[in-house]
Amino acid sequence: MDFNKNAKYVIGADLGGTNVRAAVVDRDGNIVGEGRAESKAMEGLAATVGQIALAINTAVENSPATMADVAGVGMGVPGTVKSKEGRVMWSPNFLGWDGIQLAQPIVDQIGVPTLLGNDANVAALGECVFGAGKGSKCMVMFTLGTGIGSGLIIDGEIWVGTNESGPEMGHAIVAADGPRCGCGRYGCLEALAQRDAIIDRAARKAHLGRRTSLLEKSNHDLRYITPAMIAEAASEGDPVSIETMQETGYYIGIGVANAINMLNPDKVVIGGGIAQAGDLLFDPIRDTVEVNALYQQLQGCEVVPAQLGDNAGVLGGAAMVFQRII
């Protein structure tokens, strides 16, 4: 199916384990209509495709566009995606998606061409085209959350690697004797700086009997600590929380320095909820990068927070389609 190159709008979509979000986007990157639906991950492929179509149709209804004004859909999907074939090879959220065709059933329901990409890669493209990476020739993005995703954009294109598995910089080993990672190896960046690792780091300090305002914030039950609580307590001067942010920033900084030494990027963009802690996290990241990145590789490289927040995915999906029609 061909893209309508004269269309005024494209649709970006972001499929998650809980919800699917779609946005109608104009050529300047403005979101002019949105739709959202449950992704029904446990109910099988047909149910999820129906929900994707529902989110897309709702976005169009909520916008000035009709489907005839839309050039195509670009969607980020969690897992390993064969973009050219429109297939999903594996997904942590959608069990049984092992080589399934996802693009075609969407096309069959909505009648416009549909492109798929890995969600972290698509979000990185969104930041590169519309956000913190604007103008970058080589941009690396880390997304901090319950895992650590990464994306690499070279000359405006997603770098997907030999078999479209892409770089997984969250699994760069930053402490060879470190804790076990979800991937089964030891000392990955993800094992040291994803959400639960940050919470454990703070909770261990509190268990050692150190005074911390995290106790009051969590109602004296350390299981309820969140990264947002740690960031808030750190900004109020709580020593345990400040140390937690510094140690976390150190490990992220090692991961970033590795990326800089290997790829010589001009921008490293760091996003995800935890990155909203701002300088509390970015200061130790930048200090660690300064020490551990090679001098030449670091020249002209900036380490910056993401700008698009939750919109990176849908805007990246839109950017994938714009690249086909410009």
CB of 172 to Zn ion, least distance (A): 9
**Stretch of 5-13, 78-86, 120-128, 173-181 contacting Zn ion, by CB under 5 A:** 173-181
181 binds Zn ion (CB under 5 A): yes
Q: Which of 1, 42, 183, 228 binds Zn ion (CB under 5 A)?
A: 183
Residue 122 contacts residue 317 (beta carbons within 8 Å):
yes
Show the binding pattern over residues 132-171: x = contacts Zn ion (CB under 5 A), - = does not.
---------------------------------------x
172 binds Zn ion (CB under 5 A): no
Write out the binding residues for Zn ion, residues 273-312 only, by CB under 5 A.
none
188 binds Zn ion (CB under 5 A): yes
Q: Cα–Cα distances in Å, from 147 out to 193, 195, 196, 282?
A: 8, 7, 9, 19
Considering beta carbons, is residue 65 or 274 the nearer one to Zn ion?
274
CB of 169 to Zn ion, least distance (A): 10
The span from the CA of 53 to the CA of 81, in Å, is: 19
Q: Could you tell me the sign of the dihedral formed by the alpha carbons of 42, 47, 322, 315, in that order?
A: negative
Instruction: Using CB under 5 A, count the residues that bind Zn ion.
Output: 5
CB of 183 to Zn ion, least distance (A): 3
Residue 114 contacts residue 72 (beta carbons within 8 Å):
yes
Residue 131 contacts residue 269 (beta carbons within 8 Å):
yes
Residue 30 contacts residue 20 (beta carbons within 8 Å):
no
95 binds Zn ion (CB under 5 A): no
Show the binding pattern over residues 198-237: x = contacts Zn ion (CB under 5 A), - = does not.
----------------------------------------
Q: Could you tell me the sign of the dihedral formed by the alpha carbons of 181, 116, 324, 312, in that order?
A: negative
Judged by the rule CB under 5 A, the positions of this chain that interact with Zn ion are 171, 181, 183, 185, 188
